[in-house]
Amino acid sequence: MALPESWHIRSRARACAATERPFEDGEPIVTALFPDPESSAYVRKDFALEAWQSRGAEDEKPFSFWKAVFHVTAVDEKPDAFKKESPEDLLRRLVEEEEDHTENVRYILAVMLERKKVLRETDTQRTPSGIIRVYEHRKLGDVFIVRDPDLPLDQIDQVQDEIFALLESGGRQPEPEEEAPLEALAPDDGAPEDSADEPAADLTADEEADEEADEEADEEADEEADEEADEEADEEADEGTEKAPS
């Protein structure tokens, strides 16, 4: 089921959202997420401490907020198209693609990167669509919003295997193998076909049965002829005995 929230990565601002004053390297700030009234997404805003503390009760209520430290980051180099995708790269791409079937993979990747001290969990919120976990990149300050799918323990290994397969295949699912054409499954020209053998086998069996029946009939006729011959011989012998002189 598709969720109403949008999970796109929110990058850190370089200036205060309230005063527009540029942040200084190493300056403590407050990062906050607000529901976007014009969409189903969240809006990220970064505030200087004094600007955040001056907010009043009438100001917009954040969905989530936490303290952070602003660091000036160098401009990223142009990515190498042939570079193997890392777990962080994979998570970034899957979050931006935002496909339902990668939800479990995104969550496990976020947990893996948290254990490697790449991400830190800044907040957990329970919403109608489930538990939402907010992660911040420790170095870059990027925010990742990930839904906790509450995976059963017996499914975690399967999801990890899927992650390893994605990393090995450049982050893409392997193409399914094509089925062999029907011609390849046909029997060789020299091989006998079963359909031709079966009628021949049935015909031979019928002929053998007929032959056996004929042989039995012939044997019975011979036996009857022998019995008749014996009876005639006995009758002739009796008649000769009666005609003999006393």
> What pLDDT is recorded for position 68?
93
Q: At what angle do helices 153-168 and 87-97 cross, to 10 degrees?
A: 100
Higher-confidence residue of 75 and 51: namely 51
> What pLDDT is recorded for position 2?
37
Residue 136 has pLDDT above 70, yes or no: yes
Q: What is the overall mean pLDDT for the chain?
A: 77
Q: Which residues contact 139 (CB under 8 A, 6 or more apart)?
A: 71, 73, 118
In this structure, of 17-31, 157-171, 204-218, the range with the lowest mean pLDDT score is 204-218
Residue 112 has pLDDT above 90, yes or no: yes
pLDDT in tens, 54-79: 999 899 999 999 999 999 876 555 55
> What pLDDT is recorded for position 79?
52
pLDDT in tens, 194-229: 544 554 444 455 566 666 666 766 666 666 666 666
Global pTM?
Answer: 0.58
- How many helices (H) and strands (E) the chain has is answered by 5, 6
Confidence of residue 88 (pLDDT cuts 50, 70, 90): very high
